[in-house]
């Protein structure tokens, strides 16, 4: 009668198997297939993959030395105090209204800004478990921050200057 088909079997038939090669996760960037997550229409200047990698590397070094401001509230407060640095904004924020005022504040403060593709990657580079919408990378540490060794400081300064020049040339 009707006991031949169970609801469990129906569910198995409806659920398609996931293909590991076409995973929609944020790790597709390393494969070089060019399939990036969609970004907001206001996300300009948007860094390409090579530049994004360099930016995230600088963010990671700065985060270790506590030379970053994370999140909209902290970044806005720092920009209003006219703190210098490079502002890195995630391009896949939804709703976009959360960060639309940040580029305007950056321009008023004379701080260069750039968009990257993923908030997850930005959060991971900033040494947090949470996705982060915006970060301000400062060239110098604030009072009480961790001091870098001289070789690390020199390497960070070189990378920071290259990123700063690249971001300024994107506008």
**Any idea what the CATH number is for the domain that residue 164 is in?**
3.30.1330.30
- Residue 89 inside a domain? The answer is yes
Q: How many residues does the chain have?
A: 171
- Residue 20 inside a domain? The answer is no
Task: Output the CA–CA distances (angstroms, integers) from residue 139 to 58, 61, 85, 86, 161, in the order listed.
Answer: 10, 11, 6, 8, 9
- Residue 87 inside a domain? The answer is yes
Count of domains for the chain = 1
Residue 100, domain extent: 45-170
Residues 86/114, Cβ–Cβ less than 8 Å: yes
- Residue 8 inside a domain? The answer is no
pTM for the full model? 0.76
Q: Encode the chain (171 residues) as per-residue pLDDT tens digits.
A: 555 555 555 555 555 555 544 444 444 444 444 456 778 888 889 999 999 999 999 999 999 999 999 999 999 999 999 999 999 999 999 899 999 999 999 999 999 999 999 999 999 999 999 999 999 999 987 776 778 888 888 999 999 999 999 999 987
- Residue 100 inside a domain? The answer is yes
- Residue 10 inside a domain? The answer is no
- Residue 137 inside a domain? The answer is yes
- Residue 69 inside a domain? The answer is yes
Residue 51, number of CB atoms within 10 A of its CB: 18
């Amino acid at each position: 009668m009707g006991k031949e088909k169970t609801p469990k079997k129906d569910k198995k038939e409806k659920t398609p198997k996931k293909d590991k090669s076409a995973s929609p996760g944020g790790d597709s960037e390393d494969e070089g297939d060019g399939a990036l997550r969609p970004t907001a229409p206001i996300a300009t200047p948007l860094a390409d993959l090579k530049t994004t990698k360099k930016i995230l590397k600088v963010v990671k070094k700065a985060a270790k030395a506590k030379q970053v401001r994370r999140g909209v509230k902290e970044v806005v407060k720092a920009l209003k105090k006219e703190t210098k640095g490079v502002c890195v904004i995630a391009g896949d924020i939804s709703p976009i209204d959360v960060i639309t005022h940040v580029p305007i504040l950056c321009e008023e403060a004379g701080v260069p800004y750039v968009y990257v593709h993923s908030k997850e990657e930005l959060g991971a580079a900033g040494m947090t478990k949470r996705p982060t919408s915006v970060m301000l990378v400062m060239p110098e540490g604030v009072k009480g921050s961790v001091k870098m060794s001289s070789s690390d400081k020199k390497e960070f300064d070189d990378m920071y200057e290259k990123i700063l020049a690249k971001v300024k040339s994107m506008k």
